[in-house]
Amino acid sequence: MRVFVAIDLPEDVKNKISEFINGFDKNVADIKFVDPKNLHITLKFLGEVREDSVKQIVNVLSDYVPKSFSYKLHIAGFGFFGSPKFIRALWLGLKEGKNETIQIMKDLNKKLDHIRHEDYDLSPHLTIGRVRNSHDADALLSQIRKLADVKIGEIQVDTIKLKKSFLTPEGPMYNDIELFQLGG
């Protein structure tokens, strides 16, 4: 099964993100936006793992997560991955609480390295869409720049979830495997 560790978002924040997405000019590009019910912040993608590995992951998270403190996380800022002429994905950024999120990501990378090794810069974000085709790259970039300073809201990060994903004809679906309460 495909698994990952994530921070889920409360419904009010998902609704704000949905409003933000609905206000986006969709004529400039063919964008597959994330279904609001699937919005989350990935802390560690583990990929395809066997059932016995899931038990190991649960044990690692059970030991680590309660030692981490809950914190506030501000979702603000809008940007993209790719180049200005070939934008691949759209994301919302993290502001206050970003450093705490990066620390958790670093810790999870170390503790779960035996399951999946990652060797890239950590850039916590919230993917909201993937660009399939840009009809007007300059107009898309202009729109992103106009919305760059968006402020979505604040969440209290007090739980981390181990989730599994599976594909359906309607798109990806995510189910919780286990929920871990942060300490403090």
Q: State how far the alpha carbon of 44 is from the alpha carbons of 3, 24, 140, 170, in Å.
A: 9, 29, 29, 24
Compute the distance between CA of residue 134 and CA of residue 151 in angstroms, rounded to an integer.
25
- DSSP assignment of 45-83, as one string? EEEE--HHHHHHHHHHHHHHGGGSBPEEEEEEEEEEEEE
Cβ proximity of 88 and 81 under 8 Å:
yes
Output phi, psi for 50, to 5 deg. Answer: -80, 165
Of 179, 136, 172, 106, whose CA–CA distance to 31 is shortest? Answer: 136
Domains and CATH numbers, the chain: 2-181 (3.90.1140.10)
List the catalytic residues. 40, 125
Cβ proximity of 59 and 162 under 8 Å:
no
The tens-digit pLDDT sequence of the chain (184 residues) is: 899 999 999 999 999 999 999 988 888 899 999 999 999 999 999 999 998 899 999 999 999 887 889 999 999 999 999 999 999 999 999 999 999 999 999 999 999 988 876 766 778 999 999 999 888 889 999 999 999 999 999 999 999 999 999 888 888 899 999 999 998 6
**Model pTM above 0.85:** yes
- Supply the Cα-derived Rg of the chain in whole angstroms: 17
